Copies of this chain bind each other. A is one copy, B any other.
Amino acid sequence: MTALAVTSPPSSAAARATHFKLDNGMQVVVIPDRRAPVVTHMVWYRVGAADEPPGVSGIAHFLEHLMFKGTETIAPGEFSKIVARNGGQDNAFTSHDMTAYFQRVAKDRLPKMMQMEADRMVNLTLDEKDVATERNVVLEERRTRVDNDPSTILGEQLTAAFYQSHPYGTPIIGWEHEIRVLDREAALRFYERFYAPNNAILVVAGDVEPDEVKALAKKTYGKLKPNPEIAERRRPQEPPRRAPVRVKLEDPRAGKPTFQRLYMAPAYSNAEPGEAEALDLLMKIAASGTTSRLYRSLVVEQKKASTTGGWYSGSNLDSGRIAVYAIAAEGVPMAELEDGIEAVLAKVREEGVTQRELDRARNAYIADYTYGLDSQTRLARRYGWALTTGRTVEDIEAWPERLEKVTVEDIKRVAEKYLVEKKSATGILLPLDDKAKKATNENAKRES
C-alpha cells in the first residue's frame, strides 16, 4: 500500500513464461518456479498516477488503499485478514504507470486468491466513513514519508520542475491539498473507468501449470465483462528540453548538503534499439554502488561526499530518466561537491568507459538476473512491470541477450547524448535557510 517512485528493476529471466489472453481481454502470464509449493499471485492494472485527471492527484494511490475495504461478499477490512488466515501475505503498490495487488500463498490457496481478486475488480463497495478514515491514513502517510523528510521534499519539488507537461511531474501520493478533497465519488469514478479485466494483467509465478492457471482464470476473471471504454493510454508528452532547471530547498531539518540531479532520457518502450540497455550499463558504471566512478572518485579518493549514487530508470511507459545524487562530506560546500560530480560525468561523456568496466557491469546484471530468479516476487514483478509499460514477454526474456550486444562505443554515445546539462534538472538541499544562515554567521562573528 505504498506510493512508489519510478525505479528501474533490471528485467531479465531465464524461466520462460507462458502467456495468453482471456476472451474478455485480460492478459495472463504464468511463470514456472517449482522450488517450493508456493505461488505469487498478482493483478496489475494499466493505470497509475500519471493517468489521473488533473486536480485529483493521489486518486490512483487512494483507490489502491480503498481496494482493501470490502465487496458485496467480503466485509470491510477483511481482505488481508483472510489472506493471513490462509497463511499468506498480501500487499499492493501504485506507481505512475501501474497499480498492482499481490498475494503470496501456498499453491492450494491460489483458487481462493483468484476468486477474491476477481471479486474486488468489479464489486468494490465503499462507505463514506471508511473513505474519510482512509483519507486520513493517506494524509498521514504523506506527512511521514514526504513532509518529514527534506530530501524527499526536494525530490518532489525537483520532479515537479523537471516535467513541464507530463504527469510524471505530479507526486504519486498526490499533492496534499488535492488529497484532502479526494472522496468516495472520485474513487468510484476512477475505479469504474480503469478497473476491468481488459485493463489488467494476471501474473502467477510458482509451482503451477499454465493449463491449471488458465482453467482457474477462466472460472474467475474470465466471467467478468470487459469495459468497452478502455482505450490506449495517452498522456501529455514532454516538449523538447531547452533549459536546465535548478531547485534549491533550504530546510533546518536537513543534515548535510545534498545534491540530486535528473536527466531526461528515453524509456525501454521508446528508445532507439540498444540505447536503454546502454543507459542501464552506463549508469551502473558511472554511479551505482561503491565500485562506481562517482563513489570511488568523490567518496573514496577526494572525500568530498559521504555517499553518492545514481541509476537509469527506463521501465516507464512514456519516458525514462537518469538520476544522480550525493551527500556532501563534512565541511564540503555544495559548489565543490557539484564540480566534483560534474568532472566525473564529463570524463565519462568525453572518454567513455573501459571494456573492463563494461564487462564487470554486464556481469553484475547477469548475476542479478540469476539471483532475480531466486525471488518469486521479483520474478513476477518483472513481468507485470514490463507489461504495464509497453513491453512484451519477449522483450523481457531477450533482455540479457540485448545486454550482451552493448559496446563501449554505445555507452559513450548515450553518455554524450543524455548526460547533458540542457536535459537536466538539479536539486540542492541545504540545511539552513538564508535568515538562519545570517543569524548563525552573525552569532559566529559576535563570538569571535
Contacts and interface: CB of A to CB of B under 8 A. Distances in A.
A244 B245 CA distance: 11
Contacts of A240: 177
Interface of A: 54-55, 57, 153-154, 157, 160-161, 164-165, 167, 169-170, 175-178, 234-237, 239-240, 242-250, 421-422, 427, 433-434
Interface of A is mostly: mixed
A421 to B, nearest CB: 7
Contacts of A175: 164-165, 239
A154 B420 CA distance: 18
Contacts of A176: 239
Contacts of A170: 165
Contact of A236 (B178, B234, B235): B178
Given A54-B236, A165-B170, A235-B54, A154 B248 contact: no
A97 to B, nearest CB: 16
Nearest to A169: B164
A266 to B, nearest CB: 15
Contacts of A55: 165, 234-237
Of A161, A244, A249, chain B has the most CB atoms within 10 Å of the CB of A161
Contacts of A248: 243-244, 246
B434 A157 contact: no
A176 B238 CA distance: 10
For the complex of A and B, the 10 pairs showing the least CB-CB separation, nearest first, are: A55-B236, A160-B164, A243-B249, A246-B246, A175-B239, A157-B243, A161-B161, A54-B236, A243-B247, A161-B245
Contact of A54 (B57, B161, B167, B427): B167
A173 to B, nearest CB: 12
Contact of A246 (B157, B177, B245, B250): B245
Of A154, A177, A239, A243, chain B has the most CB atoms within 10 Å of the CB of A243
Of A157, A242, A244, chain B has the most CB atoms within 10 Å of the CB of A242
Contacts of A244: 247-248
A237 B177 contact: yes
A422 B167 CA distance: 23
B54 A243 contact: no
B242 A157 contact: yes
A37 B115 CA distance: 78
Nearest to A244: B248
A170 B249 CA distance: 24
A248 B246 CA distance: 8
A178 B238 CA distance: 9
Given A157-B242, A165-B170, A244-B248, 17 more contacts: A54-B167, A54-B235, A55-B237, A154-B243, A157-B164, A157-B243, A157-B245, A165-B175, A175-B239, A178-B236, A242-B249, A243-B248, A243-B250, A243-B427, A245-B245, A245-B247, A421-B434
A55 B164 CA distance: 11
A246 to B, nearest CB: 4
Contacts of A236: 54-55, 57, 178
A56 to B, nearest CB: 8
Of A55, A165, A177, A422, chain B has the most CB atoms within 10 Å of the CB of A165
Nearest to A154: B243
A176 B165 CA distance: 12
Nearest to A153: B242
Given A157-B242, A247-B244, A165 B57 contact: yes
5 contacts: A54-B54, A55-B235, A153-B242, A164-B169, A244-B248
A153 to B, nearest CB: 6
